[in-house]
Amino acid sequence: MTGYRLDEGGAIERSEQRRFSWDGRAYHGFAGDTLASALMASGERILARGFKYHRPRGVMAAGPEEGGALVTLGEGARREANAKASQIELYDGLKAFGQNAYPNVRFDLGRVNDLLGAFFAAGFYYKTFFGISGKGTWEWMQFEKIIRQAAGMGAASTEPDPDAYDIVHAHCDVLVVGAGAAGLAAAEEALAQGLDVILAEQDFALGPALLGAEGAIEGEDTAAWRTTRLRALSRARILPRTTAFGLYDGNVVGLYEKVTDHLAKPDPALPRGRVHIVRPRSVILATGAIERPFAFGDNDRPGVLLASAVETYLRRFGVAPAKSLALTTNNDRAYDTALTAAKAGLKTTLLDVRPVPPEERLATAKAAGVEVFTGHVPVRVKGRSGVEGLEIGTRNQAGEVTPTQTLYREAVGVSGGFSPAIHLVSHRGVKPVWHEEMACFLAGTPPEGITLTGAAAGIFEREAAVAHARAVSEAEGQRLKGRRAEPPRTRPGGLGRIEPLWEVRVKGRKLKSFVDPQHDVTTDDIRQAAAEGYASVEHMKRYTTLGMATDQGKTGGVVGLALLAEALGQSVEATGITTFRPPYTPVPIGAFAGRARAAHWRPTRRTPMMEAQAERGAHFTDAGLWKRAWWFATGPADTLEAAYPREAAAVRNTVGLVDVTTLGKIAVQGPDAGEFLNRVYVNGFAKLPIGRCRYGVMLRDDGLVFDDGVTWRLSENEYLMTATTAHAGAVLAWLEELLQTRWPELRVHVASTTDQWAGVALAGPRARTVLEKAMAEGDVSDAALPFMGLTRAEIAVEGGHIPALIARISFSGERAFEIYVPSGWGDALWRRLTPLVEREGGAAYGLEALGTLRIEKGHVTGAELDGRTTLEDAGLGRMASTKKPFIGAVLRQRPALTEAERPRLAHFEPVTEGERFYTGAIVCHPERIEGHGLGWITGVTLSPAFEGRWLGIGFVAGGHTAWADTELIVADPVRGQNTRVRVCDPHRYDPKGERMHG
Amino acid sequence: MAEMLDLRPPVRSALAGHLSPRTLGQIGADGPGVRLYEHPFASLWQIAAWPERLGAAAALAADIALVEAAPGPGRAIAGSRATLLRVEPLKWLAVSDTPLAPPRTDGEATVLDLSHARTRLCLEGPARRDLLACLTAIDLRARHFGHGRVATTAIQGSAVTLACFGEGVELYVLRSFALSLWQHLLDVGAQFGVDVVHQAERRQAR
C-alpha cells in the first residue's frame, strides 16, 4: 500500500547511498534523490499534518508547488520550518522532522480538529470570538493569544542565524530563468549569438523534467539532447539550485542560490546562500507550468498526487507511490503518465472526464494495459491515513455525477490542467489573461526585454516549445544588437482538448474537498466566502486564506477563483486572479541582510592614533562610523565617572592631549576660494590673511545654523576648512552643490582631506612647553603664533622629523594648539606627545572630558546645532555680517526666528549642591511643570572649573538674562525627578579669553 | 627637499599589524582564488581642472606622470613617473611609488596632496571579479572593466576607486576605512580561498 523503489530506472546514483534521519529514525536514499522521493521509496506516507484540521498529509507534488509534505529541517539555530520535502536535495546526515503534530505526524492528537471541522470554516475566528461577551476588542485579544498558540506551522529557530549570506551583483546580456527543454534551447541559442548568458534553475539538476524521459527532441534522443545542450552551455554562467524570486523595475531580477543546503560538510567559508541581483539586458522566462488538481472528496489523503508528479517520481527517481494507481484527468497529458506507470509495472487505471478522448491516446493506453474509464470522475478517496481506494462516478454533460463503484487503488494522480508559471512577469504589473481554450491564465503583453517561452507561454508540446525558445532567443539577440526582429508567433497548445473541471460534486452528498491543502481551504469555504459577500477574488483570498501559505496558491489558486466565479455566476475572466508578488518561493530573511550584520553591519572608521590610545587604556565610543577615545583608564578599577573630571582638570591645570582627527577637513582651493567662503559663512572671510585661522558658522538656506568650524588660510588660493565630525559629509556635499548649481562661475574646487590629516589638540597652560619640546623646527611663541595664528613646523619623532601644520585654536578655553600631520605619521605624533604631556603633569583626554571643557566654556556642538537653532539662539548673533550677503541671510530674519522669547543658550546649575539632572530633561517654570516647558538640556557634566559641581548646558526661553532672579525646574519625567536650578551666563568661564589668548 | 625627505620616518600603514601573510578558506590545487596585499605608494596627488581649461589640466597631468596624453573618463594609464587615474570628469589622481614633488600648476588646475588619505589594496587571482561582485553593483565583466579601466563605487558604504591593471584590480580606499574594508574583504573572500601575501613577494613574482 505504500511507495517503493523500482528495480531500475531513474536519474539517481544507486551506487551512492545517502543516509538521513526522519523524525529520529534512520533511512537511506541515493544521490539524486529528494527527501520526498527517498521517503516515498522507504514506504513513508504520512509526512505532515494539515494546518487546521491536522489531517494526515503526504507528498503531493515534485516541486515548489508542494502543499502536503511540509517538514522541519535541521536542529538548533539551523532549524527551518515548512521546508517542502520535494525540494530538499538528499545528503548524508540530513535530519528532517515532522511538524504541526503531537506527538508525531503519524499519530497526532490534533486530529480531533478534523471532527470539529464545522467550527473552523472561513472566518471562524471573527465569527466565534468577536463580541462573545461585550463588544470590545479586549476579549478578542485574549482569544487571539490562544489562537496564536494553536496556529502556525512548525517553529522557526529563535537563535541568531549562524550562517553567512552574500548579496552578489551580476550583469549579463540574457538571463534565462528555468533550465527545462525550452530554457536550455534559449540559452544555447543566445550563447551561439555571442551573448553573455546566465541560466538559473531552481532544481539541483538541469533539465529536471528531461531526466529519465523517453522520446526525442530535435531528432535526438532526449538524454543525449540534454547532454549536448549542457556541453554547449559550458561558457554560460549556470546557476543550479537558484530560484528567480522576483522581477523588478528595469528588469532587475532577484535570484536566490542555495549554496550549502545540500552539502553534508560544507566548507565553513562558503555562504549558505546568495542573493544575486541580476541586471540583464533581456530576460527569457522559461519557467514552465504547474499542474493543478481539481477538488473531490478527501482529495488531501496521503497518496493523492499531481499526475505529473507521479510521472516525475517514476521516471526521475525510480520510485512508485504504490503498486496500483488511479489517474484522473481532463486533458491529454495524464495519458503519458499512465503509459509510464503501466510500463513500471503499476496496475494503472485512467479516468478521463471527457466522454470522448482522442482515439489514438485511448488506443495506446489500452494497448499498454491501462484500464480507461471515459466520462468518469473521482468522487471520494477511501482510507484515512492513506489512499486505500477511490470511489468513482460518471459525469454527464450537465456536470451531474453519479457514483458507480469503488476502485481499490492505493495512489491517485490528478491532472486538472496546467497553470503556466507567469509569476515573475506579473511582478512587473502585467495582468494575466484568461485563455479559454487552454483553461489557464497566460501572461499579458510583457514589457520590453522580457519574453516567455515554453510551457510558461502556454506551449506544452516539447518540440514546439524548443523551437519557440530558439526563435525567441534569436529575436532577443537581434534586438540587443539594435536590429528589428519579429518575435515568433506560436499558438499556445499541446494539452489536447481540455474540459474545465474544478470540483466533483454529488447531489445530496457532503464531501470534504480541498482547494488549498496547505492552508486547509475547502470548496465549501470558497462558497461560504462568496455567500457572505466576499465577491472579489482579493477579498476571498484574505477571508479564506486561500493561497496565503508558503506555496502561495501555486496549485489551488486558479481552482479557488474558478469556484468563486461559479458561486457568483460569472466567468473566470471577469473574476480575475490575485496579484502575484515576490518572492516566488520563500527566501531566508538573513539572505536579504547579506553581510550587513554583526561586525559587518557597517564599516568602522579608525584614526591613526587608535592603536596607541588603546595601549594607554583608552575606552572607545561611536561617533558616527568613527571610533573615538572616550576616556583613558589609569587602571582596571578606573571608571568613566572618575576619569573624565580628572582629564578635564589636567587641561585646566597643566596640559591635555586629545585626538581630533575625526573633524571633517575640506580643502577649498582656487582663486575664488575666499569669495566662496565669504558667501558660505555668516561672518567675513574675504580678508582673512594667509597664515591665519577664523571660526565660522554656516547657515542653511532657511536661516538655521548648519555647521561651524575653523577655517585655515594656508596660501593665497588654498584654505583648509574644518567641519564638525557629525556634519563632515553633509558639509562637503553642500559645498559641492553650491558650486555646481548656484555658483558655477566661481573657480573653486573642494575635496575631503579628512583622511589626509591626523590631528591632535594640545591644550592647557603647559601646552606650549610640551609642543616646544617636541618640535625640531618652527616657532610657536606668542609673537610668532598668536591666537588664531597658523604656522608650519617639524616635529621630531622616533626615526626622523615629520611636517606639521599648527594652529593656535582653542575649543577648551585654554591656551591650545591644533597640530595636524599627514595621517601616516599620526601614530608617531601621538606616541611622541603623550610622554611629554605626562611629564608636565598632564594627561591624554577623551571625548567625555572634551565635552566637559566645552560645556564649561559654553561652546556649541551638534547637540545644540540640531537643525532648530538660530545664530542668536546659540549666542552667536553678533557674528553675522551686515556688510555682505551669505547663505541664509534673508530667511534668518523671519519673525519666528527673531523673537526674543526663543530658547537661547544658557548654563544651568543645581541649586542644591550634589544634585544632578540629565541630558534631554525639560526646563520648566516651577509653577508650570508640563509640556515642552521653557527649554531643554543638551549636555551635563561634573565641572572641575566650577568647583566640581554638576553643570548643564542647554536652552531656555529668553536666555539667561530673563531668569537672573528666578529659580527654574529641570524636569525629567522619564526618571521622575525634578531639580531646582539657577540659570547662568554660558560664557562665564574666562569671559575675556585671557587664558586662551594669554 | 631631498634632504628633508631623508629625515622622514617610515609612513605607518593603516593596516599595520594586520598584513602578515596567511591563507583563509580552502586553497584548491589551482591555487588561491584571490591574492590580496597592500601596495603602498609614496605620493598621490589630485589634479582638478577648470571646465574651460580641461586641456591644460590634462597636459599638466600628463607631465606629472610622464605619459603622452592623460586618460579620459573611466580610464587609467601607467606612466614612467606616475599612474594617472581619471576619477571624475574634471579630476585625475597621479599615483607614484616614489615621492612626487608638489606639481606647479600656474593656475591651470588645482593640485591636492592626498598621499596619506588613501590606502591601496591589490586584488589578484581568478576569483577577484567574483569577490568584487559580492561587494559592489558595478559591471565588472572583463569586457566592461578590463585593463586600464577605472571606476569609483561604494563598498560597505565607503567610497572606493577601482582600477584594473592586467590580472589585478587595485582598490584605492579611504585610509580611515581601510582596516574595516580589509577585514571585510578577507571575510567575504574566504569562500574563494584567500592568500594574503607580502607586497614585496608580488613585485618579485611579477
Q: How confident is the model at residue A126 (pLDDT cuts 50, 70, 90)?
A: low
Report the residue of B13, B110, B179 to disrupt the A interface, i.e. the one with the largest count of A CBs within 10 Å.
B110
Asked whether residue A582 carries a pLDDT value surpassing 80, the answer given is: yes
Contact A166 B134 (CB under 8 A): yes
Question: Which amino acid is residue A963, in one-letter code?
Answer: W
Q: Which residue among A164, A756, A828 sits closest to B114, beta carbon to beta carbon?
A: A756
Contact A602 B116 (CB under 8 A): no
A829-856: pLDDT as tens digits: 999 999 999 999 999 999 999 999 999 9
Asked whether residue A394 carries a pLDDT value surpassing 60, the answer given is: yes
Q: Note whether B54 contacts A: Cβ–Cβ < 8 A.
A: no
Classify the phi-psi angles of B148: left when phi > 0, otherwise alpha if psi is within -120 to 50, otherwise beta.
Answer: left
Mean pLDDT for the stretch of residues A658-669: 98
Rounded to the nearest 5°, which phi and psi values hold at A20?
-150, 170
Number of H helices, E strands in chain B: 5, 12
B135-191: pLDDT as tens digits: 999 999 999 999 999 999 999 989 999 999 999 999 999 999 999 999 999 999 999
This complex has an ipTM of 0.96
Name the residue of chain A whose CA is nearest to B10's CA: A799
3-class SS at A537? helix
Contact A800 B136 (CB under 8 A): no
Q: How confident is the model at residue A630 (pLDDT cuts 50, 70, 90)?
A: very high
Arithmetic mean of pLDDT over chain A: 94
Arithmetic mean of pLDDT over chain B: 93
CA A361/CA A365 separation, integer angstroms = 6
Contact B175 A823 (CB under 8 A): yes
Name the residue of chain B whose CA is nearest to A600's CA: B184
Residues with Cβ within 8 Å of A158's Cβ and at least 6 positions away in sequence, in order, are: none
Residues with Cβ within 8 Å of A99's Cβ and at least 6 positions away in sequence, in order, are: A48, A49, A70, A71, A72, A81, A82, A105, A153, A154, A155
3-class SS at A543? helix
B190-204: pLDDT as tens digits: 999 999 998 767 654
CB A327 within 8 A of CB A350: yes
User: Looking at beta carbons, which residues of chain A come within 8 Å of B188?
Assistant: 166, 595
Rounded to the nearest 5°, which phi and psi values hold at A405?
-160, 175
User: Looking at beta carbons, which residues of chain B come within 8 Å of A667?
Assistant: 112
**What is the pLDDT at residue A750?**
98
**What is the pLDDT at residue A129?**
61
Name the residue of chain B whose CA is nearest to A603's CA: B180
A732-788: pLDDT as tens digits: 999 999 999 999 999 999 999 999 999 999 999 999 999 999 999 999 999 999 999
**What is the pLDDT at residue A149?**
67
CA A288/CA A65 separation, integer angstroms = 12
Would you list the DSSP string of A359-386? HHHHHHHHHTT-EEEETEEEEEEE-SSS
Q: Note whether B198 contacts A: Cβ–Cβ < 8 A.
A: no
Contact A753 B16 (CB under 8 A): no
Determine the length of chain A: 998
**What is the pLDDT at residue A111?**
76
Minimal CA separation from B32 to chain A, in Å: 13
Contact B118 A755 (CB under 8 A): yes
**What is the pLDDT at residue B206?**
45
How does DSSP classify residue A170?
E
Minimal CA separation from A166 to chain B, in Å: 6
Q: Note whether B157 contacts A: Cβ–Cβ < 8 A.
A: yes
User: Looking at beta carbons, which residues of chain A come within 8 Å of B114?
Assistant: 751, 753, 755-756
CA A853/CA A476 separation, integer angstroms = 69
| Residue A321: closest CA among A43, A660, A130, A134 | A43
Q: How confident is the model at residue A124 (pLDDT cuts 50, 70, 90)?
A: low
Contact A269 B191 (CB under 8 A): yes
A454-503: pLDDT as tens digits: 999 999 999 999 999 999 999 999 999 999 888 888 899 999 999 999 99
Name the residue of chain A whose CA is nearest to B181's CA: A603
Asked whether residue B4 carries a pLDDT value surpassing 80, the answer given is: no
3-class SS at A932? coil
CA distances from A505 to A398, A508, A571 (A): 12, 9, 19
User: Looking at beta carbons, which residues of chain A come within 8 Å of B136?
Assistant: 169
Q: Note whether B134 contacts A: Cβ–Cβ < 8 A.
A: yes
User: Looking at beta carbons, which residues of chain A come within 8 Å of B171?
Assistant: none
A333-348: pLDDT as tens digits: 999 999 999 999 999 9
| Residue A37: closest CA among A56, A11, A57 | A11
Asked whether residue B2 carries a pLDDT value surpassing 70, the answer given is: no
**What is the pLDDT at residue A957?**
97
User: Looking at beta carbons, which residues of chain B come within 8 Å of A272?
Assistant: none
Name the residue of chain A whose CA is nearest to B48's CA: A749
B102-132: pLDDT as tens digits: 988 888 999 999 999 999 999 999 999 999 9
B9-24: pLDDT as tens digits: 999 999 999 999 999 9
Report the residue of B8, B34, B41 to disrupt the A interface, i.e. the one with the largest count of A CBs within 10 Å.
B8
Mean pLDDT for the stretch of residues A691-696: 97
